[in-house]
Amino acid sequence: MLKTYLKRCIFCLALCFAVSSHAHNPPYLIISEIESGRLTFENEQIAAEYAAASKRLRIRRLEAMPWTKKIYVFIKAGFEHIIPDGLDHILFVLGLFFSSLKLRPLLIQVTAFTLAHSITLILAGLGLVKIQGSFVEPFIALSIVWIAVENTLFKKTTRWRSLVVFMFGLLHGLGFANLLSQYGLPKNNFISLLFAFNVGVEFGQLFVLLLAFIVAKTLFKNSWESGKIRVPASILIGCAGLHWLFQSLV
Amino acid sequence: MGLLIFASCQQNPKMNDNINPFFQEWNTQYQVPPFLQIKDEHYMPAFEKGMEENLAEIDSIVNNPEEPTFENTIEELERTGKLLTKVQRVFSNLAGSNTNPKLQELQRELSPMISAHYDKIALNEGLFLRVESIWNNRENFSLTDEQIKLLKDTRKQFIRSGALLDSNQKEEITKINSKISELSTQFGQNLLAETNGFELILDDDELDGLSDGVIAAASESAAQKMNEATSPEEKAKYENKYVFTPHRSSMYPFLTESTRRDLREILYKSYVMRGDNNNENDNKEIAVEIANLRAQKAEIMGYKTHAHFILEDNMLKSPEEVYDLLIKLWEPALKRAKSEVLDMQAVSDSEGNNFKIAAWDWWHYSEKVRKAKYDLDEAELKPYLSLDNVIKGVFNTTNKLWGLTFTEIFDIDLYHPDARIWKVTDKDGSHLGIFIGDYFTRSNKRGGAWMSSFKGQSNLDGRERPVVVNVCNFPAPVGDDPSLLSFENVTTLFHEFGHAMHGTLTNVTYPSMAGTSAPRDFVEFPSQVLEHWASEPEVLKSFATHYQTGEPMPDELIEKLLKASKFNQGFINTEYLAASLLDMDWHTITSDVVLEDANSFEASSLAKIGLIDEIAPRYRSTYFAHIFSGGYSSGYYSYIHAAVLDSDGFEAFIEAGDVFDETLSSKLRKHVYEKGSTEEAMDLYVKFRGRKPIIEPLLKVRGLDGKPD
């Protein structure tokens, strides 16, 4: 044990003296070189260590918050994950919006999507399902392309549409879970915060739909009816989806 | 796609981003440096301006037309250099704990600039004349004891820099100083070259006894060498090979595990022969030359030897006192070491070997003895020692001793997200200081553990409380598990926390006397004494709870742990004391002694004390960097001196029958942790302990008292 004392003491002494009133040449520089070798700087490693430390810091800060504040923070996080950060999810929801002129099928689809991504978010959040982000990303992009293609080619939505949307919802949930795990969830109140995050995501989604609805009803009342907006908008959404698809594959 | 924005509670000091933060008031919480605003390019201009301002302040003190008084000279000196100190504290901390190539380059650039700057002040004749005149008139000023001590210390600094010498002598001293500094640098460079210059390159069939981890590390260093190799032949040399070097981190595991006695001998000898190979990196002549120059310098300064010159500032005031201590400890240590040799010989003989244990066998056979005799598995301890629990444990200890409370602060941004910050509050609710703990190892942090501060304590112009920091290199958490410490880590944490308390409880008037500005052989007392609480069963049980089950550490495990602390103490103390005595021998020669050869000097020094062949001094002369290229000449004994104090100091609590005895803990605080260097260290100790320190408690703690474990 004395060995480590020695090493330790060199440092603490040296540093104490280095900054105390009238400093002599700090002796620790030379000694520490010998004792511990040179430091090598590998940027990737330093960045990875920094990210891990940032996560620990966030969790510490979160754990120190009162319960209500934590809930608020996670609802906000879920919301921000859609607006403004989740452009891919926004486009997917808009894709659903452009698919149907009637409220009922839209509600069914949105509910299916919500149910599905809640299931996977919670399963992944609890650690029951583990899937790499790099695996999920291309599928999320593909889901956007698929919805856009459907919107463009078919006048009416297919019977299987709700099921397809449900499957895509499962994927999107995994995407949310990945980001949430990078972000870190405090261990106490785990479930309630996971739930709060999900609620935030729903709010974000509803907000997108509401906005789309208002815009459509006020600005494009006529062209909307004839599908003039529906097709070009879906093509744009599809292009964005394709772009992400290539990006995630490369 | 990121959700990094939320939940960040940024601190927003009202500062102008375009101005160098060192040139602005820090109206941050508790004056914690505004780390996010400080960029690498801010340091140099701040250092330059800081030095310039500092010299201007000195000039205005010297040119003050009024008669020199304590207030207009000594006290004013305490107010100088604020900007320089401000930048120096931040820089020297971050250059150690969160460095980068730019900071390292700055460090090399700044080091000579800063020492030249302080030399300028120390050699300022006008300033010294004012100090001297106050000293001579000190009876006529009504000065407090603290003021007298400050006056005395300030004056002594000038004198020790040569203020009383005539101009010829001054010139001589300058020459000697620069020669010594040149030789010291050379010594260090030679040593580095020698340590890096030897490799034991092994094949697959030479790894007998080595564990997977050790083999992997050796294979990794071979791969690294291959990467660095410039020619194909050189690359081939390392291909599919395993490399061991005389760096301790590589050598100790090999010496412990390898069953190849011949290879152990080769690696061990490469280590102890560093600087002694009669090549261009030889340190023998340099050591002799440095010792001679130091003796000459001491004579010019009016001291008998270099050791007399150095020790004047310490708690032990003369070489006689140091020798007396070391020799008293030597006999019991050597006796135990000899019995350890017998234990190892018995193990070796029982294996059917037919050789006498040699120095390169020590690690291998002591490990076997350890397993047989102490049988402590570190892995069994770790689940009880999660970092968070240990931090709570040390906080609780100071709460029980002095009533301190620690409140974590979450809205201050530090230099790295792993650094944590607490507000320290005294028993009566008043603010004592800020404690920063930066515990995990990372690639841009130096090895080891240390304490430092970002802001000092002073009562000179209002009550200013400190900001102190502990930096360690504990393993970072893996996955969802918390960081689990070894017991050695735990004592390190308590140790550094002891320094932190010395820096936090300090309550003195003048900044230069605050906190850890105590003599070198005393400053480790506040840190080492706190370690005793970590291994006190009552305390250990309160914080060492299993991170999953919450169960406290079982009694039998605690017992094993405490017993194991006596393992190998004969060896550890003997090698250390031999080096300390060697250090003293080198520095108690007078200038008229003609030293011829470093090896024969060393041999006779070691023969005099009867060191056994199975042990080499912790450092042989040719690689004793502490004394020949660091700042530890005639100071290497300090560690064990502080150990005498901490064992004896803690013994007082044992005698009182309560490790949190109120009277003792308040004395410890009042006379040790609060006082900085406002009184002589020995006086402080005696005020706390009621008498001078004795060595018996240390002998007991280290198992050198001749009693069975």
Strands B431-440 and B467-474: parallel
Q: Cβ distance B152 to B136 under 8 Å?
A: no
pLDDT > 50? residue A20: no
What residues contact B518, with CB distance under 8 A and at least 6 apart?
Answer: B502, B676, B677, B681
Same domain, yes or no: B229 and B152: no
Q: How many CB atoms lie within 10 A of CB B603?
A: 12
pLDDT band at A26 (very low <50, low <70, confident <90, very high): very low
Host H or E run for residue B201: strand B200-202
Shortest alpha-carbon distance between residue A135 and chain B (Å):
16
Same domain, yes or no: A72 and A32: no
Q: How many CB atoms lie within 10 A of CB A156?
A: 9
Residues of A in contact with B448 (CB under 8 A): 7-8, 10-11, 32, 35-36
Task: Give me the residues of B, 564-623, that contact A with CB < 8 A.
Answer: 565, 572-573, 576, 618
> What average pLDDT does the segment B127-148 reach?
96
Residue A51 resides in a domain:
no
CATH of the domain at B461: 1.10.1370.40
Percentage of chain B lying above the pLDDT 90 cut? 81
pLDDT > 70? residue B11: no
Same domain, yes or no: A220 and A173: yes
pLDDT > 80? residue A37: no
pLDDT > 70? residue B404: yes
> What average pLDDT does the segment A25-50 reach?
59
Residue B84 resides in a domain:
yes
pLDDT > 80? residue B319: yes
Same domain, yes or no: B138 and B222: no
pLDDT > 80? residue B566: yes
Q: Cβ distance B276 to B284 under 8 Å?
A: yes
Domain count, chain A: 2
Contact across the interface for B7 and A77, Cβ inside 8 Å: yes
pLDDT > 90? residue B374: no
Q: So what's the pLDDT on residue A223?
A: 58
Residue A61 resides in a domain:
no
Residues B451-493: pLDDT tens digits? 999 999 999 999 999 999 999 989 899 877 899 999 999 999 9
Q: Give the mean pLDDT of chain B.
A: 93
Residue B532 in contact with partner chain A when CB distance is under 8 A: no
- In the listed set B272, B297, B330, which residue is the last one of a domain according to the structure? B272
Same domain, yes or no: B232 and B159: no
Please tell me which of the candidates B101, B122, B410 has its beta carbon nearest to residue A22: B122
Shortest alpha-carbon distance between residue A44 and chain B (Å):
11
For B115, name the nearest residue in chain A, comparing CA atoms only: A25
Contact across the interface for B517 and A80, Cβ inside 8 Å: no
Maximum average pLDDT range among A62-76, A92-106, B256-270 = B256-270
Q: Give the mean pLDDT of chain A.
A: 74
Q: So what's the pLDDT on residue A237?
A: 84
Please tell me which of the candidates B7, B191, B631 has its beta carbon nearest to residue A34: B191
Q: How many CA atoms lie within 13 A of B498 on its CB side?
A: 27
Q: Which domain does A24 fall in, by range?
A: 2-36
Shortest alpha-carbon distance between residue A45 and chain B (Å):
7
Q: Cβ distance A14 to A27 under 8 Å?
A: yes
Same domain, yes or no: A189 and A243: yes
> What average pLDDT does the segment B389-409 reach?
97
Question: Which one, of B44, B35, B22, lies nearest residue B114 by Cα?
Answer: B44
Comparing A15-24, B94-103, B429-438, B624-633, which segment has the lowest mean pLDDT?
A15-24
Residue B411 resides in a domain:
yes
Same domain, yes or no: B112 and B248: no
Q: How many CB atoms lie within 10 A of CB A75?
A: 21
Give the N- to C-terminal CA distance of chain B in Å, as an integer: 62
Contact across the interface for B7 and A61, Cβ inside 8 Å: yes
Residues B334-367: pLDDT tens digits? 999 999 999 999 999 999 999 999 999 999 999 9
Tell me the C-alpha distance between A15 and B446, whole Å.
12
Q: Between B377 and A12, whose confidence is greater?
A: B377
Q: How many CA atoms lie within 13 A of B300 on its CB side?
A: 24
DSSP states along B588-609: S--TT-----HHHHHHHHHHHH
CB contacts < 8 A, A to B, total 196
Q: What is the CA radius of gyration of chain B?
A: 27
pLDDT > 60? residue A18: no
Contact across the interface for B572 and A30, Cβ inside 8 Å: no
Q: Cβ distance B639 to A12 under 8 Å?
A: no
Residue B519 resides in a domain:
yes
Same domain, yes or no: A25 and A101: no
Residue B537 in contact with partner chain A when CB distance is under 8 A: no
Residue A101 resides in a domain:
yes
User: Could you identify the residue written with the tokens 């700090």?
Assistant: A26
Please tell me which of the candidates A6, A19, A85 has its beta carbon nearest to residue B89: A19
For B187, name the nearest residue in chain A, comparing CA atoms only: A30
Q: Cβ distance B402 to B427 under 8 Å?
A: yes
Beta strands per DSSP E along B445-517: 450-455, 467-474
For B514, name the nearest residue in chain A, comparing CA atoms only: A20
Residues B508-531: pLDDT tens digits? 999 999 999 999 899 999 999 999
Q: What would the two tokens of residue B256 be? A: 């412990």
For B498, name the nearest residue in chain A, comparing CA atoms only: A12
Q: Between B150 and B3, whose confidence is greater?
A: B150
Shortest alpha-carbon distance between residue B319 and chain A (Å):
21
Sheet holding B431-440, edge to edge: B405-408, B419-425, B431-440, B467-474, B450-455
Amino acid at site B231: S
Q: How far is CA B263 from CA B251, B271, B676, in A?
A: 11, 13, 50
Residue A43 resides in a domain:
no
Question: Which one, of B182, B178, B173, B172, lies nearest residue B286 by Cα?
Answer: B182
Q: So what's the pLDDT on residue B259?
A: 96
Same domain, yes or no: A123 and A31: no
Amino acid at site A143: S
pLDDT band at B381 (very low <50, low <70, confident <90, very high): very high
Q: So what's the pLDDT on residue B667?
A: 98
Cis status, amide bond into B511, omega within 30 of 0: no
Contact across the interface for B499 and A16, Cβ inside 8 Å: yes
Question: Which one, of B75, B112, B136, lies nearest residue B460 by Cα?
Answer: B75
Contact across the interface for B496 and A18, Cβ inside 8 Å: no
Kindly report the backbone phi and psi dihedral angles of residue B467, in degrees, each rounded to the nearest multiple of 5, phi listed first: -120, 110
Residue A170 resides in a domain:
yes
What ipTM is given for this predicted complex?
0.82
Q: Select which of B199, B496, B614, B651 is catalytic.
A: B496
Task: Give me the residues of A, 161-190, that contact B with CB < 8 A.
Answer: 179, 183, 187
Domain count, chain B: 3
Same domain, yes or no: B110 and B252: no
Residue A88 resides in a domain:
yes
Same domain, yes or no: B110 and B251: no
Same domain, yes or no: B39 and B154: yes
Q: What is the 3-state secondary structure (H, E, C) of B329-383?
A: HHHHHHHHHHHHHHHHHHHHHHCCCCCCCCHHHHHHHHHHHHHHHCCCCHHHHHH
pLDDT > 50? residue B409: yes
User: Could you identify the residue written with the tokens 């583990």?
Assistant: A130
> What average pLDDT does the segment B326-333 reach?
97
Residues of B in contact with A70 (CB under 8 A): none
SS3 B243: strand
pLDDT > 80? residue A32: no
Contact across the interface for B629 and A31, Cβ inside 8 Å: yes
Residues B423-435: pLDDT tens digits? 999 999 999 999 9
Residue A48 resides in a domain:
no
What residues contact B224, with CB distance under 8 A and at least 6 apart?
Answer: none
Please tell me which of the candidates B440, B446, B450 has its beta carbon nearest to residue A36: B446
pLDDT > 80? residue B408: yes
For A20, name the nearest residue in chain B, comparing CA atoms only: B517
Shortest alpha-carbon distance between residue A19 and chain B (Å):
6
Tell me the C-alpha distance between A128 and B483, whole Å.
24
Q: Cβ distance B3 to A179 under 8 Å?
A: yes
Residue B326 resides in a domain:
no
Same domain, yes or no: B73 and B221: no
pLDDT band at B117 (very low <50, low <70, confident <90, very high): very high
Contact across the interface for B527 and A16, Cβ inside 8 Å: no
Tell me the C-alpha distance between B469 and B419, whole Å.
9
- In the listed set B138, B164, B190, which residue is the last one of a domain according to the structure? B164
Residues B201-218: pLDDT tens digits? 999 999 999 999 999 999
Contact across the interface for A24 and B408, Cβ inside 8 Å: no
SS3 B450: strand
Residue B512 in contact with partner chain A when CB distance is under 8 A: yes
Q: Cβ distance B413 to B568 under 8 Å?
A: no
CATH of the domain at B57: 1.20.1050.40
Same domain, yes or no: B521 and B412: yes
Kindly report the backbone phi and psi dihedral angles of residue B104, in degrees, each rounded to the nearest multiple of 5, phi listed first: -65, -40
What residues contact A190, with CB distance under 8 A and at least 6 apart?
Answer: A125
Task: Give me the residues of B, 80-119, that contact A with CB < 8 A.
Answer: 85, 88-89, 92-93, 96, 99-101, 104, 107, 111, 114-115, 118
Q: Cβ distance A140 to A88 under 8 Å?
A: yes
Same domain, yes or no: B220 and B103: no
Give strand pairing partners of B545.
B552
Residue A50 resides in a domain:
no
Q: So what's the pLDDT on residue A227?
A: 65
Shortest alpha-carbon distance between residue A149 and chain B (Å):
24
Contact across the interface for B452 and A15, Cβ inside 8 Å: yes
User: Could you identify the residue written with the tokens 């149907």?
Assistant: A100
Q: So what's the pLDDT on residue B588?
A: 97
Residue B176 resides in a domain:
no
Residues of A in contact with B524 (CB under 8 A): 9, 13
Contact across the interface for A6 and B618, Cβ inside 8 Å: yes
pLDDT band at A27 (very low <50, low <70, confident <90, very high): very low
What b-and-e string marks burial along B501-526, b requiring 16 or more CB atoms within 10 Å of the CB?
bbbbbbbbbbbbbbbbbbbbbbbbbb
Residues of B in contact with A190 (CB under 8 A): none
Provide the 8-state DSSP code for B246. S
- Whether B496 sits among the annotated catalytic residues: the reply is yes
> What average pLDDT does the segment B309-319 reach?
94
Same domain, yes or no: B461 and B528: yes
Q: Which domain does B131 fall in, by range?
A: 21-164
pLDDT band at A16 (very low <50, low <70, confident <90, very high): very low
Same domain, yes or no: A160 and A210: yes
Q: So what's the pLDDT on residue B4?
A: 35
Task: Give me the residues of A, 30-89, that contact B with CB < 8 A.
Answer: 30-37, 39-42, 45-46, 49-50, 52-54, 56-58, 60-62, 64, 73, 76-77, 80-81, 85-88
Please tell me which of the candidates B420, B444, B572 has its beta carbon nearest to residue A39: B444
- In the listed set B531, B550, B569, which residue is the last one of a domain according to the structure? B550
Shortest alpha-carbon distance between residue A101 and chain B (Å):
30
Question: Which one, of B115, B110, B124, lies nearest residue B58 by Cα?
Answer: B124
Contact across the interface for A15 and B121, Cβ inside 8 Å: no
Comparing B28-32, B83-87, B121-125, which segment has the lowest mean pLDDT?
B121-125
Residues of A in contact with B96 (CB under 8 A): 11, 15
Q: So what's the pLDDT on residue B111?
A: 83
Q: Between A171 and B416, whose confidence is greater?
A: B416
Contact across the interface for A57 and B625, Cβ inside 8 Å: no
Contact across the interface for B631 and A52, Cβ inside 8 Å: no
Q: So what's the pLDDT on residue B249?
A: 83
DSSP states along B262-287: HHHHHHHHHHHTTT-SSSTT--HHHH
Residue B371 resides in a domain:
no
Same domain, yes or no: B144 and B236: no
For A65, name the nearest residue in chain B, comparing CA atoms only: B410
Tell me the C-alpha distance between B578 and B584, whole Å.
10
> What average pLDDT does the segment B317-324 reach?
96
Same domain, yes or no: A26 and A93: no
